Amino acid sequence: MNCIDAGGEYCPCHLAETLDCVLCSQLSGEKFCQCKNWCGVCIYDKYISNGSKAQNLRRTYTCTILKKKTPDKNLCILTLKAPEDLTRELVYPGSFVFLKNTENPVYYDVPISIMEADVIRNTLKIAIKLNGIKTKNLFSLNENDRISVRGPFFNGIMGLSNIYEAKNGTSLIIACGIGIAPSIPIMKKLHSNNNKIISFIDTQFKNNFSEKYLNDYSSKIVNCRILENGYLTENFKSILKDCLSGGNINLIHCGGPDILIYRIIQFADKSIALSCCNNSKMNCGEGICSSCTKHYKNDVVKRLCKVQMDSRELFKDRKFI
């Protein structure tokens, strides 16, 4: 277990002030230093040096919508003009922001993954699935409208270390619906690490909004029905089994709902590294609101907007019928 913000610009965060720090033992109620995951700096020392208070929270930016596309009645693709400093921070796998209409109150914030961050043009491309009042308000925005963007946030993917360590092999992308969007930065990273990428795609929309990216970064694209009634389809399992038996698979990334990730964990060999979408409910992204907290055995509480962990550990104590 690690903290996505540990040692960075936003560390120590406000969890340190309430003695709930994810990593530092002294900032989580202990009397002595018992660091297990060294992040390169002493978080306690940073806290004391900062006047025994947290660093600033993420900023909220006002951006402009340059383009709006609706390839499906339930799907909207927005291209935003963003400040250079924000765009630079959002090029990595797992990056996301909180969005809302500038005219709405703060509780309309909704976390949306970054599909593409262009540091040359300073633009952000995001895909939004219609899924309730918050996203409905975003759908109502049009080109040249302003939009509120809070960020950057980095914990949209679990198992990030596995992605960075996957090199010179064959990597599998298994993605359904809107889960394809956060998988695109992962494809780019795996491609830059000299991996052959095989993409299993279940678009679930009228048009495949990711076609350009898939063609650019995938060695092979398999379009098929992946999930049906909460289970992997027989056709998909047959294709995947043949692929896994070929060997040299260094990573499986699952982009989609928790039930998909759980079924892939059940199906795949335990020796193969995994990464997956972080589907935790989030309202603040700072570990404060507790909407993303999960309670594990021995009263262990993990704030999943902050905690970076292996995909199998994430689902270790969960059961799906």
Query: Helix, strand, or coil here: 166?
Result: coil
| CATH number of the domain where residue 265 is located | 3.40.50.80
Q: Where does the chain show beta strands of DSSP type E?
A: 2-3, 59-72, 75-81, 96-101, 110-113, 116-118, 123-129, 146-153, 157-158, 170-176, 196-202, 220-223, 227-228, 231-232, 249-255, 274-277, 293-296, 300-303, 307-308
- For the stretch 256-307, pLDDT in tens is 999 999 999 999 989 999 999 999 999 999 989 888 888 776 666 788 999 9
Cα separation, 225 vs 233, whole angstroms = 7
Regarding whether 142 and 184 lie in a shared domain, the answer is: no
Q: Please indicate, yes or no, whether residues 167 and 273 belong to a single structural domain of this protein.
A: yes
pLDDT tier for residue 208 given thresholds of 50, 70 and 90: confident
Average pLDDT of the chain is: 93
**Do 147 and 163 belong to one domain?**
no
Write down which residue in 103, 119, 153 finishes a domain. 153
- Residues 129, 175: one domain? no
Residue 223 within any structural domain of the chain: yes
* Residue 310 belongs to a domain: no
- Enter the pTM of the model: 0.93
- Residue 125 belongs to what domain range? 59-153
d(CA 160, CA 230) in angstroms, rounded, equals 26
**Distance, CA of 54 to CA of 24 (rounded, Å):** 13
Question: What's the per-residue H, E or C state across 238-249?
Answer: HHHHHHHHCCCE
**Residue 38 pLDDT exceeds 80:** no
| Range 5-21 average pLDDT | 93
Q: Say if 5 falls within a structural domain.
A: no
Q: Which two tokens stand for residue 109?
A: 């914030």
Q: What is the per-residue pLDDT across 94-149, written as a single tens digit (0 to 9) for each?
A: 999 999 999 999 999 999 999 999 999 999 999 999 999 999 999 999 999 999 99
54 pLDDT tier (thresholds 50, 70, 90): very high
| Residue 106 backbone dihedrals phi, psi, to 5 degrees | -60, -30
Domain boundary among 153, 180, 208: 153
Domain count within the chain: 2
Q: What is the CATH number of the domain that holds 78?
A: 2.40.30.10
pLDDT at 299: 60
Same domain, residue pair 103 and 169: no
% the chain with pLDDT above 90 = 79
